[in-house]
Structure 1
Amino acid sequence: MPSTYDLAPDADFARNPGVPLDMAWVNAAQANTPAIQRRCATLPGRRSVKKDYQAAWLCRAISCIDLTTLSGDDTVGRVARLTAKARQPVRADILSALGMEGLTVGAVCVYHDMIEAAVKGLDGSGIPVAAVSTGFPAGLSPLHLRIAEIEESVKSGAHEIDIVISRRHVLSGNWQALYDEMRAFRDACGHAHVKAILATGELGTLRNVAKASLICMMAGADFIKTSTGKEPVNATLPVTLVMLRAIRDYYAQTGHVVGYKPAGGISKAKDAINYLALIKEELGDRWLRPDLFRFGASSLLGDIERQLEHHITGAYSAAYRHPMG
């Protein structure tokens, strides 16, 4: 079987088709919580980057952002501003000084009702539209309605669908139900890529996170994602380490490549670098591209832009100098 680092820096790959549910593999999944926490606690001190290197890592982080608005008061005007920011995520003078003209975010993520506005705002940019679906964020609506919601979002022009799993399947150990549900979501997405949101803050244990990660990948998820952003605890480095190692294990066993998306609570540039460093260590450079890695974020971009301006000018600016659109 392939090793973790067999995926070349410029390698192309097919979508993850999924594999049959293997409960022996799932039941063997473990998570040593104290060891995971110690490993993650040492990361910021070991992987500090400065000056030009920091600016380069932050530009890479921008290219991997799913710029997101998921609020009850979303409007067409707000989404128009968001798509403008997606096209021009950093002020033109800063990008010019960095030699990074043309930099864009990885995608724009919205509710179903805002897909049309997002598609219009991104027309011709090459930036995909992602839509949250399946009764987001709770995932408690009837299954046939969740599947219909996916199908409607794909028809409306969404290139990616962020689905949310039923946490009760994990908490009750009903792994077959989780697999079948995820498989149905994958089939409903058709050509659109599917990101499986595990809502890790509500799964109870890191071992449950590991098992749910494996099952969603077995069922054909293109990405596994930490959170809806609506849970009390969202993305963390320990959860990320567990999910990255599940991705690595899945690739080693099957040869199928799956992406990763942490979401919720990532708002500082230094945090983004920590996530990128952990991915580089665990999966290698190929996973540091937007087709295999995304940040689910809204406020992160503003802090990165401030850090990049500081890198160019030596002075920090106020947040109002970096408007959303």
Structure 2
Amino acid sequence: MAQGQEEQPRDERNPGVPLDLGWLREVHVNRSAVERRAATLPARRTVKREWQAAWLLRAITCLDLTTLAGDDTPGTVRRLCAKARHPVRSELLEALGVPEERIQVAAVCVYHNLVSVAVAALRGTQIPVAAVSTGFPAGQIALEQKLAEIAASVRAGAREIDVVISRAHVLTGNWQALYDEVRAFRMACGEAHMKTILATHELATLRNVGMASLVCMMAGADFIKTSTGKEAVNATLPVGLVMTRAIRDYYERTGYRVGLKPAGGIRSAKTALDWLILMKEELGDEWLNSRLFRIGASGLLSDIERQLSYFVTGHYAAAHYNPLV
């Protein structure tokens, strides 16, 4: 943080800052060093037994429980929302000594046309509905359509909007266009929190990932998100390392904290722990909460519940004891 600058209140949203192209030119990424660091993270810090159970419960509270399939129905979403309300079996939480009301997922993420269904199913809880928007997953529609889609989801009750950036702006180095686009998204979101999906596998280089992360934060993103979940390669620790360091750089220069959301391919409890370790190592305990860290996943919760069952009983529960929907 700049000398003499006062730290912002921890609950203050990132308002964004003017685009700084000089700052972007300072971004350099050593791929081999990033990959070495990412490979050592899981080995440097391990959690076992009751500590592992505690970390897995924390992972649940940071989970954006997601369904983004072509065969989604209102019934699918209602079942997902029921699981969001009670993500872990009562007898497991009782054995762990954790009050059931303390364990809920961070959000439920759906397509726009199912937002109203999810909002109704979650009524009476504090669980927000997140809507994927702006032509998800490719983002290949006109800006006017993207803004209209955001506005429609907000009107339907979405309190969080996951937007996709135009990858072409990154690949052609048109940072002003990317900034203007994301800034317009932020204005359309209003009070709804905005997560900007970088689709990192489609950005060609880790340096592009770092620069795109900074531009989205400058434009007012509340979270930067790795992937759509529809790419050939989705959330990876090397990409996460580049993005967390961009978040740290942004915080040190502006005083505003921005969250990270890895998404896509995170299906095992062990992988979720790896991401929690990354956040703790690179950003510290302040980021280990749903306000600044989310995991976008659909099948992850089943494996976490399976691991908690093993901790409590000494054996893995059959699959039908841990249904997701």
TM-score norm. by structure 1 comes to 0.97
Aligned partners of 1:209 and 1:79: how far apart in 2?
32
Indicate whether 1:75 and 2:78 are aligned.
no
What's 1:133 paired with? 133
Match of 1:56 in 2: 54
Amino acid at match of 1:46: R
Indicate the residue corresponding to 2:255 in structure 1.
Answer: 255
Q: Is the 8 A contact 2:10 2:257 kept in 1?
A: no
Identity of aligned residues (%): 64
CA distance in 2, matches of 1:317, 1:13: 39
- The correspondence of residues 239-254 of structure 1 with structure 2, limited to 5 A, is 239-254=239-254
Shift of 1:37: 0.3
Q: Does structure 2 conserve the Cα–Cα contact (< 8 Å) formed by 1:7 and 1:286? A: no
Q: What does 1:1-325 correspond to in 2, within 5 Å?
A: 1=1, 12-100=10-98, 101-102=100-101, 103-325=103-325
- 8 Å Cα contact 2:7-2:255 kept in structure 1: no
Question: What whole-Å deviation, never above 9, does each CA across 1:128-149 have from its counterpart, x for those lacking one?
Answer: 0000000000001011000000
Aligned-partner residue type, residue 119 of structure 1: V
Task: State whether residues 105 and 127 of structure 2, in contact with CA within 8 Å, keep that contact through their aligned partners in structure 1.
Answer: yes
Give the CA deviation at 1:319: 1.7
User: Does the CA-based 8 Å contact 1:47-1:274 persist in structure 2?
Assistant: no
What's the CA shift string for 1:151-209, capped at 9, x where partnerless? Answer: 00000000000000000000011111000000000000001000000000100000000
Letter in 1 for 2:52: Q
- What code does the residue aligned with 1:150 have? I
Q: Does the 8 A contact of 1:108 with 1:129 survive in 2?
A: yes
SS at match of 2:278: helix
Query: Could you tell me which amino acid in structure 2 is paired with residue 226 of structure 1?
Result: T
* Aligned amino acid, residue 42 of structure 2: P
**Secondary structure, in 3 states, of the residue corresponding to 1:293?**
coil
Instruction: Give the conservation status (yes or no) of the 8 Å contact 1:226–1:234.
Output: yes
Letter aligned with residue 288 of structure 2 = L
User: C-alpha distance in 2, partners of 1:14/1:221?
Assistant: 13
User: SS of the counterpart of 1:120?
Assistant: helix
8 A Cα contact 1:19 1:220, kept in partner: yes
- Kindly indicate whether the alpha-carbon contact (under 8 Å) linking 1:68 and 1:297 is maintained by their aligned counterparts in 2: yes
* 1:7 Cα offset (Å): 7.8
Name the CA distance, whole Å, in 2 between partners of 1:314 and 1:183.
Answer: 51
Offset, 1:216: 0.2
SS at match of 1:158: coil
Mapped partners of 1:201, 1:319: distance in 2: 32
- The one-letter code sitting in structure 1 at the alignment partner of 2:93 is L
User: Would you say the 8 A contact 1:2–1:251 is kept in 2?
Assistant: no
Structure 2 unpaired stretches of 5+: none
Q: Which amino acid aligns with 1:108?
A: V
Deviation at 1:2, TM superposition (A): 6.3
Instruction: Output the CA distance in 1 between the equivalents of 2:317 and 2:186.
Output: 44
Is the contact made by 2:299 and 2:324 (CA closer than 8 Å) also made in structure 1?
A: no
Alignment length (residue pairs)? 321
Q: State how far apart, in whole Å, the 2-side matches of 1:13 and 1:62 are.
A: 21
Supply the RMSD in Å over aligned alpha carbons: 1.4
Runs ≥4 residues deviating over 2 A: none
TM-score, with normalisation over the residues of structure 2?
Answer: 0.97
- Per-residue deviation, 1:12: 3.1
